[in-house]
Amino acid sequence: MRIPIIGGNWKMNKTVKEAVDMVEDLKQRVGNIQDVEIVIFPPFTALKSVGEVVKGTNIGLGAQNMYWEEEGAYTGEISPLMILDIGCRYVILGHSERRQYFKETNEEINKKLKVALSSGITPVVCVGEKIEERRRGKAKKVVEEQIKDCFKEITLEEARRIVIAYEPVWAIGTGETATPEQAEEMHLFIRNLLKDLFGEEISQSLRIQYGGSVKPANIEELMKEKDIDGALVGGASLKADSFAEIIKKTAEISKISSSLRSKNE
Ligand code: PEP
């Protein structure tokens, strides 16, 4: 059974105080949730302070990016060792905003992925097509290329620890969400690709999050789909009330589907 994972990507938002206030509030609201893995991705500047607030709780800490070298003359970059040292156990890699504005390539994401895995950090690897690619009928081809290139030379043991976020670029921050059917179709496509790459068992155990304008009003219908294992949430993760609601609704759906499964066994 795949435990759903809900991530909150805060992007370039919040001062340290705002971040700490938000997470104190979130902790009160979701501290008792057990059926969902919860991770927040604050900006680098707030990681230390937020890390102190979430220490020993059910809320994990992640970075929004990292470089692939451990140290050296790479002005402005942050290494895997540094994010581990500050308490991060997760990292987002290849977010579409990094691909779009900072020209990150699949090859670079692959380098980061290998280092994240060898450092013991859980990577959340983002893939997804642009609107013109979907309109031209190329969505699956683009996602296939991203998965194959980003996952080059990843061993079976390493693959087990990867989380994938399918985030259609046209749905990120736009208020436009993929329909549950559109999302499920791509998630199933990704799972089948994973089966070709890593075999049946790993493909069934890897979690694939959906991302793109997820909010309390649409999380349930998305989570009801068989191959959607949680969400990477941007805008709606910035406020404790909406993010907590998404987490609670995910926990409810997950409870219902596991009790249905045990009844059928
Ligand atoms: C994201 O940042 O990964 C994201 C999905 O953003 P939003 O929820 O705001 O669309």
Tell me whether residue 187 is one of the annotated catalytic residues: no
What average pLDDT score do residues 30-39 get?
96
Q: What tens digit of pLDDT does each residue of 172-184 get? A: 988 888 999 999 9
Catalytic residue among 37, 167, 184, 245: 167
What is the pLDDT, as a whole number, of residue 262?
A: 66
Cα 215 to averaged position of ligand 1 atoms, centre (Å): 10
Tell me whether residue 265 is one of the annotated catalytic residues: no
For 11-153, where are the alpha helices, taking DSSP H only?
16-30, 47-54, 80-85, 96-101, 106-118, 131-135, 139-150
Q: Which residues contact 265 (CB under 8 A, 6 or more apart)?
A: none
Q: What tens digit of pLDDT does each residue of 191-239 get? A: 999 999 999 999 999 999 999 999 999 999 999 999 999 999 999 999 9
Which amino acid residue places its CA nearest to atom 1 of ligand 1?
234
Is residue 254 within 8 Å of residue 4, measured between CB atoms?
A: yes
What is the pLDDT, as a whole number, of residue 174?
A: 87
Fold (topology level) of 5-264:
TIM Barrel (3.20.20)
Average pLDDT, the chain: 96
Q: Which of 250, 164, 244, 161 is nearest to 211 (CA)?
A: 164
For residue 140, is pLDDT > 80? yes
- Give the containing element (helix H, strand E) for 164: strand 163-166
What average pLDDT score do residues 140-161 get?
97
